[in-house]
Every structure is written in structure tokens, then in C-alpha cells.
Amino acid sequence: MRRTRRLFLLALVVIIAAVATSYYVQKGLQSRQTPPKPQRLNAGVQASSRDWVYYKGDGDRPVVEVRARDMERVEQPVAKLMLKGVQLKLYHKDGKQFDFVKSEAAEFHETEGTMFSDGDVEITLGVPEEAKDKPGRLLTIRSSGVKIISGSGKVSTDRKTTFAFDLGDGEAEGAEYDPQTRELILRNAVDLRWRGEGDKAKPMQVQAGRLLYREGESKVYLTPWSKFRRANLSLEAADSVVTIEEGAIRLVEAQKATGRDQYPNRQLAFGANELRMGFNTKSEVEKITGVGEARLESVAGLSRTDIHTRQIDLDFTVTEQGSQLTTATANGGSILETKPVAMNGAKTPPNRILKSESVVAKMRPGGEEIEQIETHSAGTLEIIPNVAGQPRRHMAAERMSMTYGAKNQLQGFRAVQVATRTTKPKTPTMKADPPPALTWSKDLTATFEGESNELTRLEQWNDFRYQEGDRHATATRATLDAKTNFITLNELARTWDPTGSVAANQIVLNQQSGDFTAEGNVASTRMPDKKPGKEQGGGMLSQDEPVQGKAKKMIAKDRNQLVVYQGDAVLWQSGNRLQADTVTIDRKAKVLVAEGQVVSQLLDQKADDKTGKRTVTVVRSPWMRYEDQARLAHYRGGVRLLREGMDVKSQELRAWMKEQSQTKPGESSLDRLAADGSVEIFQVDQTRTRRGTSEHADYFVGDGKIVLNGGIAQMTDSIKGTTRGRQLTYYSRNDTLQVEGVITQPVVSKIRRN
């Protein structure tokens, strides 16, 4: 038993020793494997951690994730997390993209759910969650003093902010971004530089007081002012909206905007209450539309053109040199005014003012010079001279078109359904302003001269009408030579005034003097020159009745005071008639000259007491001159006079008309005749004939008295025979003959026996 007890005790000691050994072994091993004791926390820090992570989600959709290299929790003065090496993901609503925020240091307030970084912060918008997704046009924002709300993901700062993306960069004072609405706000002094794509792309600078970018709409809202600049193009406006497609500016909508497009040889300025600028995929201007008090000013070549309208549309063609203006369209109360650029030593061309509801200006290739301007509605054109003495012209038409040459010089003008008004300046010799010259026609063309831009030729056709004071004209076609101031009327031409009228195939009218030349089937009417209170009866061409005329050609000068009819000329008045190759009437001198195959016909206005008929006197000769003052018609070159029962032949003949006191209004009767040179008078009545010859003869119409003298006067009577003498006087009314003999030769009479 004792031996067994000792063995039990020995076994117990061994076990205790083994346990003790095992304990110390385990204790040593545990001591070696236990981590070192953490360092003491800084004062005020309740906890700290490395590789800290904060996550907030909405079901399966992540909302915000914050990671930090180091984290310390403090309670005073407020509870917050102090983070270093911060990376923040603010997820979009779809959870597939997030906005990535990086900062070296930040404060995270868990209770408020906000983060604030006083140092530099970098924010990248729209980062794809999956690596396989294309990164797109990422926008990176850099700033400081940034505040982030974890619940909504809103980011904001009041400090200077810079931003960059693959097509540009910029800066602003203060910024705010909401990932939920995907709206970026740049609060003040926004300056954005949009580089565009490609090496040849020209950058655009955008400036504004405030910028709001709505990513979902792809629109940028600029307030309360905005500025744009791209190469030669600049724009200033109040509020503006910029539309972006695939990273390119495609549309700018600006309020109360003014812009400029400047090139070495052309300056373009435009503006409107509302302005739309359309761009292509490379952000180059394709179209500009202005609405409300729209205006366009273009200075190119030798002129400046201003357009004012309710709406203007500018179309551009994009070339390697940039956007070039091709067409400008104005609609609504449009006014286009062209002013010349003054040149030293040269006459200043006139100003032109075009008004119409719709005006279209087409530019030459290059967009610097005008090629054509046309109206698409009724309008007016005013040509205002800048040189003294030049006329002012006004045109109104249903449609107008103007073509231009080099240096914006007007070359041609075309109009339909047109009316013109030309106002001439008063000259020192004029007592009053001259009346305006008015024209009307269905069609009109005009040409202008080089750099002077002066009108050189104006042509109107189809129902042409003309009026200048009391002077009128009509024709199928009319042409004005502005240098000579001559109007040529063609086809059914007619001109008239209170003094008379003329119709012909062609009439050439001097606007300045009123002189004209008519050719081809000329027909004229001359009104009486009768003065109030005075009777003008008598004379070869009575002044109491109109004078009608026909000829191949007619020339009128000095306000119709001198009139020439040429080629088969015929003038008539009541029963009086005059024919000749040429007839010249000088109304101031009161002289009429007829030349070549002259035939005059005078009708006694008073009927014969015996027959009741009015006697007609016809005189034929190569030449005739009538003087109204003396009431004398002088014929020469071989004359023949035919009158009722009388035939007179001579080399010359003078015919006196009755004095005014001897005639009644409308009468034009012969008073007496005087014939010279181989005079031969032949009379015939119902019972006999008489033939008288001499070198001179007088016939007194009222008395029926014939006096033959000069040389040997002879009278042969078919009944009484032949009588010769120095002077024979025959009275037809009582059939008596007085004979005056010659001193050296007695009277000789031969009595015919029955």
C-alpha cells in the first residue's frame, strides 16, 4: 500500500511538473504571439483607424462610399472624423456612374452627413462603375474649401475653382454640383475655354457671371451676362443657353445679344433681343438667327451696309478658313441702308435705303462682299446723293433685286410693278423747287457706274408712264440716260402737257430742258396760246384752236416754243392745212417756215355771200415763211396759188391775212396777195375766162381786185379780148377793167368779135 502510495505521489508530481512545464511553454509562446500594445491616442481623439471605409446605400443601390487612408474620431468641439488620403464616390441614381472626389485631408461629420475639405480637392464627374465602360468626356474640377453632403452627394465651394475636360478647361469663383440632378453651378466670374476636336479646331472662350450646367439636358445656362469668342467671332449678351451634343457646342441662345465677325477686308456686327447661333459638330458657326430689333452691320470694300429688321437669319459655309457668311435674310419691317466709305479726292457715292418686309442678301465666295440683294415682298429704295446738284431718287416696287460688283459696288437693279420719284435740286436761276419726275411701269432695270455708284441707265417697259409737273408721257418702253438726262420712249410713245401732245414710234425727251425729238409716225396737237381776256383770231395758224401735225420726225425746244417737223410734214387747223418736207415753228418770234414741196391750204371761215360756200386757197411752192406779226406768208422758188375760180403762178408770192380787228374768233382768211416774177393769173367763171400776166400783181381778196404791173401788163378776156398797159386793174365783182398806159407807148386793146 505504501509502495502504491509513493507511486501515486510520484505520478502526481510528474503530472504537476508536466502541467507546469506546459504552462510556461504556452505562456512563453503566447507572449511572443501577442501584438504590441497600441500607441497612446492623441489628446481629444477617441478612436483612430487606418484604411477606413464608410458606405451608405439605398437597398442594392450604392449612394455614397468614403475611403480614407487614416481616420481619427474626435468629439470636441463637435463630433467628427478627421480623414486623410480621402477618396469619395458619389453615385448617380442609376448606380452605374459616380462622381469621384479626391482630397488629402477632410472632415466628415457623421451626424450631419457632410464632409468638408479646406485644402485642394479634385472632383471627376461621371466615372463609370465598370472598367469596361468607356470613360466618356470626363469633367474634372479642382478647388478648395469644398463641402460635400453625403445624403444627396451635393458638392459646393465658395473659392476659386478650375475645371478641365477632354475638349477644354476653365475657371470660376465658387461652384456647386448635385449628382442627383447632375447639375453643375459655377457661381461667379466664369471663364471657359472650349478647344474643340482636331489640330485645326479653333477654340471658343465662354464667359459669364454665373453658369448652370444640366448634364441631363446637355445644356449650359449663363446668367446674368455672357460672352463668347471664337477666332474672329465674338458675342456679348445677357442670359444665354448653350446646348452641347457629344462634347461639342451646337447651339447658343442669347438674350439682348450683340456680336462681331471681323476679317481683314470685312467687319460684320449683328445683334437682336433674342439670338440663336447654330454650330456644326466641330463647334463652327453654321447659322445665326436674331429675333426682335435684329440688326446687321457690314463694312467691306467701299461701303457700309446696315440692316434693321424684326428677324434676321445669317447662313454660313464652313471652310478651312472658318465660317464664311453666305446669306443674310431679313424678315419683318426690314430696312437696309448702304453708306459709302469716303475716299480722298473722289466724289462720295449716294446713300441707299432699301425697305421691305423681306430682304435677302447673298454674299460672294469668301463672305466678305455682297453679290446680290433682293426683296421677297413689296418695298422701296431711296437713293440719297452726297454730292450737291445730284437728284434724289425713290423707287417703290413689288419686287426688287440689286447686283453688286467688286468692293460692294452696286452694278445693277431690277424691279417689277415699280413707281419712281426723282427730285431735282433747285438751281440759282429757279424761282421755285422743280416738280418731281414720276414714272410707273411693270418692269425696270438700272445700271450704275463703278466706284461713283451713280445711276447711268434706267430702263422701264410694259405700260410705262411719266409725269413731271404738267408734263406727261407714256410708252411701251422707256430708257433714261442719267448722264445726259435724256429719256427715250419707244413703241406707242406719247408725251403731253397743257401746250399740246405728241405721239410717235420714238420720243427722246430732255428732262432738264423739256426739249424732245419724236420720230416715226409723229402725230402732234398744239393747244392754243390764248391769253385770258384777249381774243387771238386771224393768222395762218389761229391761236384760238388746236393745231394738229404729222411728220416722220418732230423736234421741240424751249418748252415747245420752237418746233420742227421733218419728213412729209402736215399741219392743220380746222380747214387750214400746211404740207412740206420740213416745217419750223418759232412761237416766240411768231414765225413759221416751210421748206420742200410746200402746200398750204387756207379756208375762209366766212362763207361766200353768193354761193354759201367757204373759199379754199391752196398755195404750192418750194419754200414759205409766215410772220404772224405782219400776218404775212412769203412763198418763193416758183409758186402756184389756187383759189375758187383763180389760178396764180409766180416766182414769189406774199399773202397777207386779215388783221385781227377784221376777223372774228376762229376766222383765218386772206386779205391780199402780192406776186412777183413771171406772174400769171388765170380766172374762170361760168361764162368766160381771163388770163393776166405781168412781173408783179396784187390781188385784194375782199374787193375782188387784181392789179397787174411791172413790165408789160396784159389781160386776156375770152369775151373782151386782150388788153396791155403799164398797169391793169380788174374788178371781178362788177367786171370792170382799168388800164394805165405807158408814157412811150399807148394802151393797146384788142376786142374779140363775136
Q: What is the mean pLDDT of residues 520-528?
A: 90
Say whether pLDDT at 654 is over 80. yes
φ and ψ of 282, to 5 deg: -105, 15
Q: Poorest-confidence range of 16-20, 67-71, 400-404? A: 16-20
Residue 32: the pLDDT is 57
Is pLDDT of 367 > 60? yes
Does residue 677 lie within any of the structural domains?
A: no
Query: Is 141 domain-assigned?
Result: yes
Tell me, what's the pLDDT at 500?
A: 85
Please check whether residues 106 and 75 belong to one and the same domain.
Answer: yes
Q: Does a structural domain hold residue 368?
A: no
The 3-state DSSP composition of the chain as helix, strand, coil percent (nearest 5) reads 5, 65, 30
| Cβ 458 vs Cβ 477: under 8 Å | no
CB-count exposure of residue 638 (10 Å: 0-12, 13-18, 19+): middle
Of 79-83, 447-451, 471-475, 570-574, minimum mean pLDDT range: 447-451
Distance, in Å, from the CA atom of 56 to the CA atom of 151, rounded to the nearest integer, reads: 8
**Residue count (the chain):** 754
- Read off the pLDDT band of 639 (50, 70, 90): very high
Least confident of 231-240, 385-394, 527-536: 527-536
pLDDT tens digit sequence for 537-580:
456 656 667 889 999 999 999 878 899 999 999 998 877 889 99
Grid cell 450704275 — which residue? Answer: 448
CB atoms < 10 A from the CB of 729, how many? Answer: 19
Q: What is the Cα–Cα distance from 475 to 506, expressed in whole angstroms?
A: 9
Q: Are residues 609 and 533 in the same domain?
A: yes
The answer to whether position 233 is within a domain reads no
Does 66 or 650 have the greater pLDDT score? 650
pLDDT value of position 517: 93
In terms of domains, do 631 and 690 share one? no
pLDDT of res. 245: 85
Work out the pLDDT band at 754, boundaries 50, 70, 90.
Answer: very low
**Residue 751: pLDDT band with limits 50, 70, 90:** very low
Whether residue 337 contacts residue 330, with contact meaning beta carbons closer than 8 Å, is answered with no
How far, in Å, are 1, 8, 15, 228, 235 from residue 5 at the CA level?
6, 5, 15, 110, 114
- What is the average per-residue pLDDT within 381-406? 88
User: The C-alpha cell of 26 is what?
Assistant: 504556452
> β-pairing, 168-178 with 562-573?
unpaired
Nearest 5°: the CA angle 187, 203, 364 is 125
Cα 91 to Cα 66, 108, 125, 179, distances in angstroms: 11, 18, 10, 7
Query: Is residue 296 domain-resident?
Result: no
**371 belongs to a structural domain:** no
CB atoms < 10 A from the CB of 521, how many?
A: 13
Cα dihedral across residues 484, 485, 489, 493: positive or negative: negative
**Where residue 238 falls among pLDDT bands split at 50, 70, 90?**
very high
Q: Are 127 and 161 in contact (CB under 8 A)?
A: no
Domain final residue pick, 135, 156, 177:
156
Distance CA 183, CA 218 (A): 10
Q: Quote the DSSP letter at residue 742.
A: B
Write down the pLDDT at residue 529: 67
Determine the average pLDDT of the residues in 698-715: 89
Q: Of the candidates 458, 340, 487, which has an alpha carbon nearest to the alpha carbon of residue 393?
A: 458
The pLDDT of residue 651: 95
Say what the pLDDT of residue 30 is. Answer: 60
Whether residue 197 is predicted with pLDDT greater than 80 in this model: the reply is no
Q: Which domain holds residue 606?
A: 528-668
pLDDT of residue 746: 45
Average pLDDT over residues 499-524: 90
Quote the pLDDT of residue 744. 39
What is the percentage of the chain residues whose pLDDT exceeds 90?
36
| pLDDT higher than 50, residue 227 | yes
User: How many domains, in total, are found in the chain?
Assistant: 3
Q: What is the DSSP string of 321-357?
A: TEEEEEEEEEEEEEEEEEEEPP-TTSPPPPEEEEEEE
Mean pLDDT of the chain: 83
Q: Are residues 632 and 719 in the same domain?
A: no
Backbone φ and ψ of 749, nearest 5°: -130, 135
On whether residue 754 sits in a domain, the answer given is yes
Q: What is the pLDDT of residue 18?
A: 53
In angstroms, rounded to a whole number, what is the distance separating the alpha carbons of residues 83 and 116? 10
* Whether residue 159 has pLDDT greater than 60: yes
Among the residue ranges 104-108, 260-264, 429-433, 609-613, the one predicted with the least confidence is: 609-613
Q: What is the pLDDT of residue 366?
A: 76
Q: Which of 604, 635, 668 is the last residue of a domain?
A: 668
610 and 722 fall within a common domain = no
Q: Using the predicted structure, report yes or no on whether residue 188 has a pLDDT greater than 70.
A: yes
Radius of gyration of the chain (CA): 57
The greatest distance separating any two alpha carbons of the chain, rounded to the nearest whole angstrom, comes to 239
Is the same domain home to 690 and 659?
no
CA dist 231 and 421 (Å) reads 46
Same-domain status, 648 and 734: no
Measure the CA–CA gap between 84 and 79, rounded to whole angstroms. 17
State the DSSP string of 569-630.
EEEEETTEEEEEEEEEEETTTTEEEEEEEEEEEEE-SSPPTTT----EEEEEEEEEEEETTT
How many other C-beta atoms are found inside a 10 Å radius of the C-beta of residue 255?
19
Same-domain check for residues 649 and 697: no
Task: Please write the tens of the pLDDT for every residue from 435-469.
Answer: 998 999 999 998 987 666 678 888 999 999 989 88
Instruction: State the average pLDDT over residues 6-23.
Output: 51
Question: Which amino acid makes up residue 4?
Answer: T
Compute the distance between CA of residue 45 and CA of residue 25 in angstroms, rounded to an integer. 39
Same-domain status, 575 and 628: yes
CATH number at residue 81: 2.60.450
The better pLDDT of the pair 82, 541 is held by 82
pLDDT at 76 over 80: no
Query: What is the per-residue pLDDT for 542?
Result: 62
d(CA 705, CA 611) in angstroms, rounded, equals 19
pLDDT tens digit sequence for 675-695:
999 999 998 887 889 999 999
The verdict on 624 and 692 lying in the same domain is: no
Instruction: Compare 74 and 680 and report the one with higher pLDDT.
Output: 680
**Helices and strands (H, E) in the chain, number of each type:** 1, 43
Q: Are 230 and 242 in contact (CB under 8 A)?
A: no
User: Where residue 542 sits, what CATH number does that domain have?
Assistant: 2.60.450.10
Which domain-ending residue is among 156, 184, 219? 156
pLDDT of residue 109: 83
Residue 608 has pLDDT above 80, yes or no: no
Element (H, E) at 30: helix 2-33
The answer to whether residues 578 and 637 belong to one domain is yes
State whether 713 and 656 are in the same domain: no
In a domain, 640, yes or no: yes
Most confident of 41-45, 70-74, 154-158: 154-158
- 390 DSSP 8-state letter: P
Q: What are the grid coordinates assigned to 481, written together?
A: 440716260
